[in-house]
Amino acid sequence: SGPEEVSELDGAKRVSASSFKGGSLEVRNLGMAYGTLEVLKGVDLSVKPGSVTCVIGPSGSGKSTLLRCLNRLVEPKSGDVLLDGDSILFMKPERLRRRVGMVFQHFNLFPDHTALENVALSLRKIKGLPTAEAERLAMARLADAGLASRAHHRPGGLSGGQQQRVAIARALAMEPEVILFDEVTSALDPELVKGVLNLMADLGQRGMTMVVVTHEMGFARRVADQVVFMDEGRVVEAGPPDTIFDNPQSPRLKRFLAEVL
Ligand code: ADP
Ligand code: MG
């Protein structure tokens, strides 16, 4: 195995032992529509501090819209979301997005900047840190993600898995209380998926609160504290992974699992 392969897999191992203080989320009767298309029809969800919630369900069931409501990339139409007990509807969106970070399927890195600069830029622009301090912290977060040796590479010189880990390092650098992940391994070549999932599993173990929309059922089973099955804008079933995967109740979840497992 070459050096490339090693660096894909060692992300989790190199993460420092420090732990996070994750926040809680309470989603209450959340409704959202695009025009006349009702996409969320009263979603309730409870996310405990430091827990990992995996959201599964068919395409178009509202998973991405739910995540987007949680940091108000889209505005809910009804209901509420409490972050550590406070309604997000009364928070400034910029402040909210620092507290609730998000990582996307496509990494959205700046192609002309190195990995280090990508992370440091956010620290300067969003946290207002001076350059030297931003770069020191950016280096630490890249090291957390097993990418210290890649800090001076541009995204084009990194594998997709490494780019996604830079995006996760950038999210971590904001010191969020919750991180939302929307199908972050779906665009990766299969051999690059594991390094990203290992890093995410490690963040979960270190106490980060995470809401993870994923097709990786193995990850959900292994890492999730809670699995939420959505269909047609509603939470159809939620529970611990053993219950959801081994003892599904609703016909819709049974059908979904039969298709994906
Ligand atoms: P999922 O992530 O589970 O695939 P989404 O939340 O992306 O589901 O989408 C839910 C529904 O909302 C789908 O019917 C989708 O076509 C629709 N939708 C998503 N984004 C938009 C948008 N920006 N404008 C209009 N309709 C949208
Ligand atoms: Mg989606």
Minimal CA–CA distance to 20: which of 199, 196, 198, 175? Answer: 175
CA of 61 to the centre of ligand 1 (A): 8
What is the Cα–Cα distance from 48 to 26, expressed in whole angstroms? 8
Q: What is the CA radius of gyration of the chain?
A: 18
Q: Residue 2: pLDDT above 50?
A: no
Q: What is the ipTM of this complex?
A: 0.99
CA of 34 to the centre of ligand 2 (A): 15
Q: Using 50, 70 and 90 to split pLDDT, how confident is the model at 18? A: confident
CA of 149 to the centre of ligand 2 (A): 32
Q: Residue 96: pLDDT above 50?
A: yes
pLDDT tens digits for range 137-196: 999 999 999 999 999 999 999 999 999 999 999 999 999 999 999 999 999 999 999 999
**Ligand 1, closest atom to CA 64?**
2
Minimal CA–CA distance to 201: which of 85, 52, 92? Answer: 52
pLDDT tens digits for range 197-211: 999 999 999 999 999
Q: Using 50, 70 and 90 to split pLDDT, how confident is the model at 15? A: very low
Question: Mean pLDDT over all residues of the chain?
Answer: 93
Ligand 1: list residues with CB < 6 Å. 34, 37, 39, 57, 59-65
Nearest CA to ligand 1 atom 25: 34
CA of 136 to the centre of ligand 2 (A): 34
